[in-house]
Chain A
Amino acid sequence: GQNIDQPTEMTATEGAIVQINCTYQTSGFNGLFWYQQHAGEAPTFLSYNVLDGLEEKGRFSSFLSRSKGYSYLLLKELQMKDSASYLCAVYTGGFKTIFGAGTRLFVKA
């Protein structure tokens, strides 16, 4: 079966660092995406990991361990505008992407 798990909600303080974890069990794996989605809007691309390790892009970093079926998204210097849902998605091949339920992040002042 296909299973992607991430926490439902997280709360963090402006200026802090937050890590959003994602574990997956899928029938195929070609890469892992992280998307940001604000309420009522479509997802926007944040990162894509194919190989193990950490990919850094500004305030956002994403980590992947394929052997453990594990990824995390790290957000630094949190800003109020970072309040959104963060979706972990696995590209299983055959052009198919499976999404996790998303983690709603609340950033408080």
Chain B
Amino acid sequence: GAVVSQHPSWVICKSGTSVKIECRSLDFQATTMFWYRQFPKQSLMLMATSNEGSKATYEQGVEKDKFLINHASLTLSTLTVTSAHPEDSSFYICSARDERGALDEQFFGPGTRLTVL
């Protein structure tokens, strides 16, 4: 199967600090990964598309200087929330696109719950 991991699963930080979240595809290579944010009782909102070896594509309204994305290898993408503030508290979920099968399926990581005090 296709497994995606995220680390850490939860993090609490002080306002103004930076937090890095890792997303790894464990048993397949992913040239494309996606970062989503989900607020309570709301849907997943796509933040950006992470492409291996190139710059990420950000959705409208997402600050690229605040949410830094690095997709340095075919199995790892990182999201860094810089100068985090309480309004950045959310559930961050990554997914990786599995290109091996006929179905262009995304596999989701378990998510990272960020709480900014």
Q: Which residues of B contact A48 (CB under 8 A)?
A: 103, 105
* Residue B25, interface by CB 8 Å: no
By a beta-carbon cutoff of 8 Å, the part of chain A in contact with chain B is 30-31, 40-45, 48, 87, 91, 95-102, 104
A42–B107 alpha-carbon span in the complex (Å): 9
In terms of DSSP, what is the predominant structure of the interface of chain B? strand
A/B pair count, beta carbons within 8 Å? 45
Q: How far is the CB of A11 from chain B (nearest CB, A)?
A: 16
B43 touching A42 by the CB < 8 A rule?
Answer: no
* Residue B49, interface by CB 8 Å: yes
List, sorted by A's number, 18 A–B pairs whose CB atoms are closer than 8 Å: A42-B93, A42-B111, A43-B44, A43-B93, A43-B108, A44-B108, A48-B103, A87-B43, A87-B44, A91-B104, A95-B49, A97-B34, A97-B46, A98-B46, A99-B44, A99-B46, A101-B42, A101-B43
A99–B45 alpha-carbon span in the complex (Å): 7
Q: How far is the CB of A2 from chain B (nearest CB, A)?
A: 10
Count of chain B residues near A, Cβ 8 A: 23
B49 touching A96 by the CB < 8 A rule?
Answer: yes
In terms of DSSP, what is the predominant structure of the interface of chain A? strand
Q: Which residues of B contact A91 (CB under 8 A)?
A: 104
* Residue B8, interface by CB 8 Å: no
Given A99-B45, A101-B43, A102-B42, 10 other A-B residues pairs in contact with their CB atoms under 8 A: A40-B111, A87-B44, A95-B32, A95-B49, A95-B97, A97-B46, A97-B106, A99-B36, A101-B42, A102-B43
Q: Which residues of A contact B49 (CB under 8 A)?
A: 95-96
